[in-house]
Amino acid sequence: MTSNSNGAVPTHGLGPFLQDARLRWVVAIAILAFLVVAPMIFGSYITVILTNALLYVVLCLGLNIVVGYAGLLDLGYAAFFAVGAYTIGVLTIQFGFNFWVAFPFAVLAAVLAGVIIGGPTLRLRSDYLAIVTLGFGEIVRFSARNLEITGRASGISGIQDPSLFGWQIRTQTDYYYVFVVLAIIAVIASFRLANSRLGRAWLYVRHDEDAAEAMGINRVQVKLAAYVIGAIFGAVGGAFFAANLGAISPESFSFEQSVLVLMAVILGGMGKIPGVILGAFIIILGPELLRDLGEFRLLVFAVGLLLIMLFRPSGIWPGRRGA
């Protein structure tokens, strides 16, 4: 009866292999060691791509809470990403806030955005939910493009690099390490959430919300929590994205962005943290690795994705049946 009693239903493939706790630590430390030394081995070009992949890890883990844990569809996740980035942009440029002063406001704005999108949509079933979240994503982007304060279509530029305890985050390598830390925090938070009481409530609501409600789980509250926490992940990613680039424009937060994040989550395996991380890396690194193919690379990449989904419809990462 412990809160994280899983492994009851038989696993297959890589599952039992990676469930060995000691082995899991070895793998985690190896990955961490690789991430630490990567910028020293590879050039700045690859460091930029890896930074982007780590940003995607944060975004994908955030969307995974909504889609994977709570079982809600969200086609407008880029909106939360935009809310974080624009809050930093507007507050630092238009109001002269320091990045760290603006940061809590970015998180707060994400909470509000999560409630705004979550509140009215929670009674909707998946297909309607998809349409409404898609609309929400577009509303945020169009607002950014048309409001004076967000710099209209040209966006906001000149966002200052933040400093942390006297360390000026400036170079690409600095930002790379910032995103390493963010990704690690996102992974730990995801694990803890999955094994928490709230995590179990998500599991039950995802499987059968009527049964969950009948046993005393407040489904509205539980789903709203998923949107809000997912929004916070997105906004934190967006805030550092804005600081990293120094300039943001509405086109960074297009529908395509939402789809890419969702694709990474589904590709890796919804609800499975290692799978989602893998998905994020594939989505970002895939097109880069295929760069030699020139104009065919997106075609090849798309065919590759289709094949993966054909042969592993519940994602690359092995997992529990139906979970």
Partner 1 sequence: MSTSGNAVLKLKGIEAGYGRIQALMGIDLEVHEGQIVTLLGANGAGKSTTLKTISGLVRARAGSVEFMGEDITGKNAHQIARSGLVHVPEGRHILRGLSVKENLELGAFTVSDAKLRQTRMQEVFDLFPILGKRQHQDGSLLSGGEQQMLAMGRALMHGPKLLLLDEPSMGLAPKLVLETMRIVKRLNEAGTTILLVEQNARLALRLAHYGYVLESGAIRMKDEAARLQADKSIVQAYLGE
Site for partner 1 in 58-87 (CB under 8 A): none
* Contact flag: residue 313 with partner 1 (CB under 8 A): no
* Contact flag: residue 322 with partner 1 (CB under 8 A): yes
* Contact flag: residue 200 with partner 1 (CB under 8 A): yes
* Contact flag: residue 204 with partner 1 (CB under 8 A): yes
Question: Which two structure tokens, joined as six digits, stand for 202?
Answer: 């998500």
User: Residue 291 CB, nearest distance to partner 1 (Å)?
Assistant: 40
Angle, alpha carbons 244-247-248 (nearest 5°):
105
- Rounded distance between C-alpha atoms, residue 77 and residue 254, angstroms: 10
Of 94, 96, 208, 302, which one interacts with partner 1 (CB under 8 A)? 208
* Contact flag: residue 210 with partner 1 (CB under 8 A): yes
User: Residue 278 CB, nearest distance to partner 1 (Å)?
Assistant: 22
* Contact flag: residue 213 with partner 1 (CB under 8 A): yes
From 3-11, 148-156, 163-171, 304-312, span contacting partner 1 (CB under 8 A): 3-11
* Contact flag: residue 145 with partner 1 (CB under 8 A): no
User: Residue 197 CB, nearest distance to partner 1 (Å)?
Assistant: 8
- Rounded distance between C-alpha atoms, residue 119 and residue 113, angstroms: 10
- Rounded distance between C-alpha atoms, residue 265 and residue 283, angstroms: 10
Question: In this structure, are residues 106 and 87 in contact, taking their beta carbons and an 8 Å threshold?
Answer: yes
From 59-67, 126-134, 156-164, 215-223, span contacting partner 1 (CB under 8 A): 215-223
Of 145, 297, 312, 320, which one interacts with partner 1 (CB under 8 A)? 320
* Contact flag: residue 43 with partner 1 (CB under 8 A): no
* Contact flag: residue 310 with partner 1 (CB under 8 A): no
The answer for residues whose C-beta is within 8 angstroms of residue 123's C-beta and 6 or more apart is none
Of 21, 40, 41, 214, which one interacts with partner 1 (CB under 8 A)? 214
* Contact flag: residue 9 with partner 1 (CB under 8 A): yes
Of 59, 182, 201, 232, which one interacts with partner 1 (CB under 8 A)? 201
Q: Which residues bind partner 1 (CB under 8 A)?
A: 1, 5, 8-10, 200-201, 203-204, 207-208, 210-219, 320-323
